[in-house]
Amino acid sequence: MNSNRPLSPHLQVYKLPLTGLISITHRITGVALSAGLLCIVYMLVMVSLGAESYATLQQFMQYWPAKLVYWGFIYALFFHLCHGVRHLIWDAGKSFDKHTLQQYAVYELLASLLLTFMTLLLLYKPEFLWMLDQHFQK
């Protein structure tokens, strides 16, 4: 075997560009969404089994690891959505230059974080929606 062959750079040496990280994250969130849908089906089965099963499910969902998985699912959903919109823009043949790719990757991250944060606000602080409504009616 020839030992003079050059070695390929490893991930510890090679720094992926933001667009590469976004692409990998898109695939990971797709897998997470599939696993999350299995969890949702399980939850629906628990609800259909009656009040006792539903109470057990509610108790389980109060633990912080369950909430972390829940919010991870919500973030994965919004990230996957934002990246899908980016793909629609690409399907139209737009934004393929390097600067715009980087810019849209940042927009995608910010939009997914903002959508997740807004969902958190609306679910845990429903009065926030009322405050927004009052603000825009002025």
**pLDDT tens per residue, range 65-96:** 999 999 999 999 999 999 999 999 999 988 88
The answer to the question of residue 106 being in a domain is: yes
Instruction: Tell me the residue range of the domain where 27 lies.
Output: 18-133
CATH number at residue 114: 1.20.1300.10
Question: 29 in a domain, yes or no?
Answer: yes
Q: Which residues, other chains included, contact 135 with Cβ-Cβ below 8 Å and sequence gap of 6+?
A: none
Average pLDDT of every residue of the chain: 89
Q: For residue 3, what pLDDT is reported?
A: 67
CA dist 27 and 31 (Å) reads 7
- 73 is a domain residue: yes
Domain count, the chain: 1
11 belongs to a structural domain? no
| Domain assignment of residue 120, yes or no | yes
